Amino acid sequence: MHCPFCRHSDSRVIDSRTSDDGLSIRRRRQCPECGGRFTTVETSSLSVVKRSGVVEPFSREKVIAGVRKACQGRPVTDADLAVLAQDVEEAIRQTGASQLDANEIGLAILGPLRELDEVAYLRFASVYQAFDSLEDFEGAIAQLRTDHPRGGTDDGGDAR
């Protein structure tokens, strides 16, 4: 990345943030030669390797479609799903990976979905992690209880 002021061939990234739509990354850069600061916008492509081996572009719509089934009958809105898909994409982009397999997408979905709705999370996890016994459900539920004990959630951790 050449400095636009002195054409020095190197620059240092001093800040970077993902755009609201998650499609690009803005980087503040500083030239080590003249100290000039400039901004670059990079769009990074993210692709997913499906179980069949087919590679396709990452799609928030596909994330939403996959999660929507697990959310049937739950108090989850389209807006909630849109936010979830954005969170998933940002989490994936922050890893710096440009290609993921379907399993990694599923893993990235589990965290935000759990925050959104625990029942939907259990449904999604049961399919994604191929639960095949009551013990698998019991284990996942026990984990939820450990992390989110009922009552007594006032630990002040979310105080603003």
Work out the number of other CB atoms within 10 angstroms of the CB of residue 86: 17
Residues 6+ apart with CB under 8 A from 34: 3, 5, 6, 8
Indicate the residue among 31 and 116 with the shorter CB distance to Zn ion: 31
Phi, psi values for residue 126, rounded to 5°: -65, -35
Radius of gyration of the chain (CA): 20
Question: What 3-state class would DSSP assign to 30?
Answer: strand
Minimum distance of Zn ion from residue 11's CB (angstroms): 8
Asked if 66 and 84 count as a contact pair (C-beta separation under 8 A), the reply is no
Minimum distance of Zn ion from residue 1's CB (angstroms): 11
Q: How many CA atoms lie within 13 A of 131 on its CB side?
A: 16
Contacting positions for Zn ion (CB under 5 A) = 3, 5-6, 8, 31, 33-34, 36
Minimum distance of Zn ion from residue 29's CB (angstroms): 10
Indicate the residue among 34 and 141 with the shorter CB distance to Zn ion: 34
Indicate the residue among 5 and 137 with the shorter CB distance to Zn ion: 5
Minimum distance of Zn ion from residue 36's CB (angstroms): 5
Indicate the residue among 28 and 62 with the shorter CB distance to Zn ion: 28
